A and B are shown apart, each in its own frame.
Chain A
Amino acid sequence: MPKGQETIGGKTRVERALEKSEIRFRQVVEAAPNAIVMIGVSGRIEMINVQAERVFGHSRAEMLGQPVEMLIPERFRAHHPGHRSAFFEAPQSRPMGVGRELFALKKDGSEFPVEIGLSPIETDEGLMVLSVVVDITDRRQKFVQTSYLAAIVESSSDAIIGKNLDGIVTSWNPAAEALFGHASREAVGRHISFLIPPDRLAEADMILDRIRRGERVENFETMRRNKDGCEIPVSLTVSPILGPGGTILGASKIARDVTERQRAADTLRLSEERFRSIFGAVGEGIFITDAEGRFIEVNGPGAEMFGYSTDRMIGLDIQSISSGMPPYTQAEAIEWQRKAAISGRPQIFEWHCKARSGRLFWVEISLRQASIGGGAVGLAIVRDISERRTIEAQLRQAQKMEAVGLLTGGIAHDFNNLLAIIHGNLELIRDASADTPEVHEMTEDALRAAARGASLTHQLLAYARQQPLAPKVVLLEQLVSQVAQLIRRSLGETIEIRTVIPKDLWATRIDPNQLENALVNLAVNARDAMPDGGKLTIEGANKEFDADYAESNPGVVPGCYVQLAVSDSGPGIPPEIIDRVFEPFFTTKPLGKGSGLGLSMVFGFVKQSGGHIKIYSEAGRGTTFNLYLPRASEQLDDCVAADDSGAVRGREMEVILVVEDDELVRKFTVRVLRGLGYRIIEAGDGHEALRLLNEAGRVDLLLTDVALPKGMSGPAIAAEARKRRRELKVLYMSGYAKDAIVNNGVLEEGVQLLTKPFPKTELARKIRDMLDEGGAA
């Protein structure tokens, strides 16, 4: 013990101080948060702390005095003594294994990454090295994680921007550079508002407010500005960045460029709009059907054609709009759809349809297979061809009459030549047989038969429009009254005959003898239709037919005509034969009762004279034959359709309810009235008319057919309508001449009536006159 050293309890002060220092050192080592292992020059473990026991899993006893290599994984052990020697040669505090990753070995054989700090310590047992071992497993994991995140942020195609709660940009990834054009160094440190268009600046505060409240802003679609000042549509997602303890440090903002998406959406919307507007604007009906023939899409005109709204039409199938008469069935429709699919070409066919109201009509369908969203659908373009078919049928009938006429004419000529020979020679025989009464008598019989044959050929030639005519300018008043006298005598008491010829009736150019013949023929026909008596009316009127009318009535030439209407009150002609009554040899009379040529002659005569003829007939209401004879050209100067269309046009808001079951007439009428500027409501029967009348706001005039289906006549509609609207004006239309219909008690005296067919000008003027009169007509 050195001199002068105080001892306390057998120890010097120095000794005690050393001891104290030793204890404090040990205490420090033990309390250190890291594992500490002290190794001597020999490489044996001289001292460890509690943390070392915990980290390596060995107990103190297991480690003390053992070579330190026990704590080093096998693969590093060989190099270790060399490193250790190097340290002891130049002992100084430094981290171990700079630039290398260090691993330590636990008792259980597992390795863990470590950082080791080395410090030389001079002890009484010589130089030792104090190793402070830090388990960096967690830190390494966090590092890897952070590196991943950083890489993700760097490589993201979305702009990712960090900002603090003041809105200052703290980070800026390459995608942000690409999107906004600002480099990271330009952006970081600036307030986020440099990206925001001036009119949207408030958004910045709004977003930051929400972030401060810990809320997330998701897929917020807005506009941002790039370095060039251009605005870019973006979708923003902004999330708060939480610090330790949940404090909000700032926000991470992901900005996605939605230019492409928006462009695609715009294109889609435009394309959809374009499709919708074309779909709706096409005049034809367009139907898209699924494989079972159900409608999955229909345009307005298509639905209207069948009397449905487009909504109600969708989901219906072909069956529900077909007449159902074979072959117009669902199965057949599917078959067409199949053909369209197989051939790849449009299939065009006619179809018999049923509207919602039960009305049957014809359409032409062009059906092809199309693909929508990868699925096969039927695409049908549907056109209402009722009008066309009716006109075609009329044209066919006219052509047939023409052809039969030519044929008849040819045959009649041949017969006539033969009859000339027969008749002439019979006369010679008759003269030569004066001495032989028997031969004489037989010859007389044969001559009578030949005369009848000649009369028949005459009728045939009349029908074939090849009879000799001697047309003259004729005033009908006198002619008709003469004929009336004649037929009064021959038709008998049971038939009441009435003639109405207006004073201002135009003169006609016609063969008067043949006209008399024609009237007698019609009268005989009327008598046969009324075996128990009835009324026969002959009525004259001036008529003018325009090009519109001629277009829908094949064979009619526009111009001025004198109408002679011959009406009976018989049972009427059934619709199925009405077109055929003018055909030669067509007769409904018992065999031998009529030649079947009477009406044919009338037809041929009127045609040959440059006129035309129309029949109107309805069951139970009799028949009217309308003869239109050409107005005598000698006075044609007066017959110029005055162009007073301005004066007869409809005024704004004037509404007319048109009730007519004949579709052709209704369409014509509605087209004319719309053309004149009226607003039109149309109905096919009385019930529909009254329903529409209830729904309608304003109705100024009811234009109705007299005879209508479903048990409700024009006058019945008018009576019912007047109960609801006392001021409503009523104009009747009828195929019958006015007097005939008033005579038959269908209409009251004094009503307003248009006789069908009527030209545009007459309709326009009549309606204007009625609307301009005060009070109910």
Chain B
Amino acid sequence: MSTGRLLIVDDEADFGAFVRRVAQKLDFEVEVTTTAAGFKESYSRFKPTIVVLDIVMPDVDGIELIRWLAAAHCAARVVIISGFDPYYAMAAEKFGDIGGLTSIQRLTKPVSLADLESALTARGPGKA
């Protein structure tokens, strides 16, 4: 049995691949997408237990995705990975809180392997 189902959305496919590697070593089932549409499709079908998303992407507004997740009563844990611009991440976090997302974690790029591993395996209300 897998540790859980991880859905990653990041416009940097290589970063998504890196997270996939780390997650697979931790026995996650992993799907990676680089677009908002792909993310929504995958979310509905794959039903992830944990979502990793980049908040600043050129063609996708991470905050929109957070709101979408909230509207969908997402029960998965959410890990927001952002660059150095803190306001987006903080705003996203706020939106998530308001929308009822129960577990949000914030990581800043570049992410150390240890931090990423602990974020993925952290115990939270999301179904493991």
Q: Which A positions have Cβ atoms within 8 angstroms of B?
A: 409, 412-413, 416-417, 419-425, 427-428, 431, 450, 454, 457-458, 461, 466-469
Contact = CB atoms under 8 A, between A and B. Distances in A.
Contact of A416 (B86, B110, B112, B116): B110
A425 B84 CA distance: 20
A464 B109 CA distance: 17
Nearest to A461: B84
Interface string B65-89: 0000000000000000101111000
A27 to B, nearest CB: 150
18 contacts: A413-B56, A416-B83, A416-B84, A417-B109, A420-B12, A420-B81, A420-B109, A423-B111, A424-B18, A424-B19, A424-B116, A428-B18, A454-B110, A461-B84, A461-B85, A466-B85, A467-B84, A468-B84
A421 B15 contact: yes
B18, B19, B110, most chain A CB atoms within 10 A: B110
Given A461-B84, A468-B86, A419 B110 contact: yes
B110 A466 contact: no
B14 interface: yes
B12 A417 contact: yes
Given A413-B85, A458-B84, A461-B84, A425 B109 contact: no
Interface residues of B, number: 20
A423 B81 CA distance: 15
B21 interface: yes
Contacts of A467: 84, 86
For the complex of A and B, list the 3 residue pairs with the smallest distance between their C-beta atoms, beginning with the closest: A468-B86, A427-B113, A420-B109
A252 to B, nearest CB: 105
B119 interface: no
Contacts of A409: 85
Given A413-B56, A417-B15, A424 B83 contact: no
Given A413-B56, A417-B12, A417-B15, A424 B84 contact: no
Contacts of A427: 112-113
Given A427-B113, A428-B21, A431-B113, A421 B86 contact: no
Contacts of B83: 413, 416-417
B113 A420 contact: no
Contacts of A417: 12, 15, 83, 109
Contacts of B19: 424
Contacts of B15: 417, 420-421, 424
B104 interface: no
B86 A424 contact: no
Given A423-B112, A461-B84, 11 more contacts: A416-B83, A416-B110, A417-B83, A420-B18, A424-B19, A425-B18, A454-B110, A457-B84, A458-B84, A467-B86, A468-B108
A450 to B, nearest CB: 7
Interface of B: 12, 14-15, 18-19, 21-22, 56, 81, 83-86, 108-113, 116
Contacts of B56: 413
A421 B83 CA distance: 12
A421 B12 contact: yes
Contacts of A425: 18, 21
Contacts of A419: 109-110
Nearest to B54: A417
A336 to B, nearest CB: 52
Contacts of B22: 424, 428
B110 A450 contact: yes
Contacts of B81: 420
B110 A420 contact: yes
A425, A431, A461, A469, most chain B CB atoms within 10 A: A425
A185 B15 CA distance: 125
Given A413-B84, A416-B84, A457-B84, A423 B21 contact: no
A425 B113 CA distance: 9
Given A428-B113, A431-B113, A421 B84 contact: no
Contacts of A469: 86
Nearest to B85: A466
Nearest to B19: A424
A417 to B, nearest CB: 5
A416 B12 CA distance: 11
A416 B83 CA distance: 7
A468 to B, nearest CB: 3
A457 B113 CA distance: 19
Contacts of B108: 468
A457 B83 CA distance: 10
A466 B22 CA distance: 29
Contacts of A466: 84-85
A318 B69 CA distance: 74
A424 B113 contact: yes
A458 B108 CA distance: 11
B111 to A, nearest CB: 6
Given A428-B18, A428-B22, A420 B86 contact: no
Contact of A421 (B18, B85, B113, B116): B18
A169 to B, nearest CB: 106
